[in-house]
């Protein structure tokens, strides 16, 4: 890995993190309730985008360096599965069994399905 590629991935990660912070705030300001819809929507959309990106790269429409910068960098900062896991545990500790289970399984299944869909769509190109 070249120094320029490393710095590009790091900068993209910072932009992804800033985007997550901004969008999570926007979503939280418009939703209420037990579920953390901001984290859920960011992880689901990030999974779809990473699937698309991977599909485009596997179809050789994008070079591997773009995949690293956007995928590992930007989308790595944009998504936050550790926060999703923390929020699932918090819900279960509060004895909100249905919400905790829906959050944990919903994000896991939904993110995997959307990544697969994105990969499939990206591979069609």
Judge whether 54 is annotated as a binding position: no
Contact 76, 14 (CB under 8 A): no
Exposed, middle or buried: residue 107 (CB in 10 Å: 0-12, 13-18, 19+)?
A: buried
Nearest alpha carbon to residue 53 among 125, 124, 122: 122
* 35, 39, 44, 49 alpha-carbon torsion, rounded to 10°: 160
Q: Is 31 annotated as a binding residue?
A: no
Residue ranges of the annotated binding site for Na(+) are 76, 79
Residue ranges of the annotated binding site are 76, 79
């Amino acid at each position: 890995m070249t120094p320029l590629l490393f710095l590009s991935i790091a900068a993209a990660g910072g932009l992804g993190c800033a985007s997550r912070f901004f969008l999570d705030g926007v979503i939280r300001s418009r939703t209420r309730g037990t579920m953390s819809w901001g984290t859920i929507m960011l992880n689901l959309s990030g999974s779809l985008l990473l699937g698309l990106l991977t599909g485009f790269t596997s179809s050789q429409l994008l070079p591997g360096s773009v995949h690293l910068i956007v995928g590992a960098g930007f989308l790595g900062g944009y998504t936050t599965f550790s926060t999703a896991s923390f929020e699932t545990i918090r819900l279960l500790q509060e004895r909100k069994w249905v919400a905790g289970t829906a959050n944990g399984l919903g994000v896991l299944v939904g993110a995997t399905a959307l990544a697969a869909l994105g990969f499939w769509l990206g591979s069609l190109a």
